[in-house]
Amino acid sequence: MGKTRLGIVVSVVVVLLVSAIVGMVLYYNRQPYENITFVDVDHLSYSGRYHDNPSLSNWNWTLTLDLKNTGNMNASINNIIIDGKSYTDYSSTTINPSIEKGYNLSALQNVVITIQGTNTSAPPNFQTGKEILVITAMGNNYSYLLGS
């Protein structure tokens, strides 16, 4: 009779432990999170001329980012950093769609963001190993190294 009780107690303890572990996993998976993934990055065009006087330099460039929010909550993209500088720090730069007031990227959705510089005095450095950061309103930074 003592062995039967011990077996029942062990069985109950095992069931409780398994239930607790399953409950923690389910709770963790319900926590909201954003996660921006770089699907594709392309600097489509990069042309211009250099002049000793930077105001006479004339550069045109395009950077295209295909992004996906693989999280389970919306992400608000509010800045893109190219090689340590905000896209707004480059003169004559446009971005489509605009992220000036934050671009809301729904969970599990994609967006293609195009940044264009026209007649800029200096283009971004698109060399291998340079970093592109997408920054969200939650303060998260999502990084991509060119050439990776």
Q: Is the pLDDT confidence value at 143 over 90? A: yes
pLDDT of residue 42: 84
87-97 pLDDT, tens digit per residue, is: 998 878 899 99
4-37 pLDDT, tens digit per residue, is: 777 777 777 777 787 777 766 656 566 778 888 8
pLDDT of residue 27: 61
Measured CA to CA, the distance from residue 64 to residue 80 in angstroms comes to 12
Q: Could you tell me whether strands 110-120 and 58-69 are parallel, antiparallel, or unpaired per DSSP bridges?
A: antiparallel
Going from the C-alpha of 93 to that of each of 33, 55, 62, 125, 133, the distances in angstroms are: 31, 16, 10, 15, 17
pLDDT of residue 75: 95
With vertex at residue 133, the alpha carbon angle to CA 32 and CA 108, rounded to the nearest 5 degrees, is 35
Measured CA to CA, the distance from residue 110 to residue 36 in angstroms comes to 9
Fold of 36-145: Immunoglobulin-like (2.60.40)
Give the confidence band of 56 by pLDDT, cuts at 50, 70, 90.
low
pLDDT of residue 1: 52
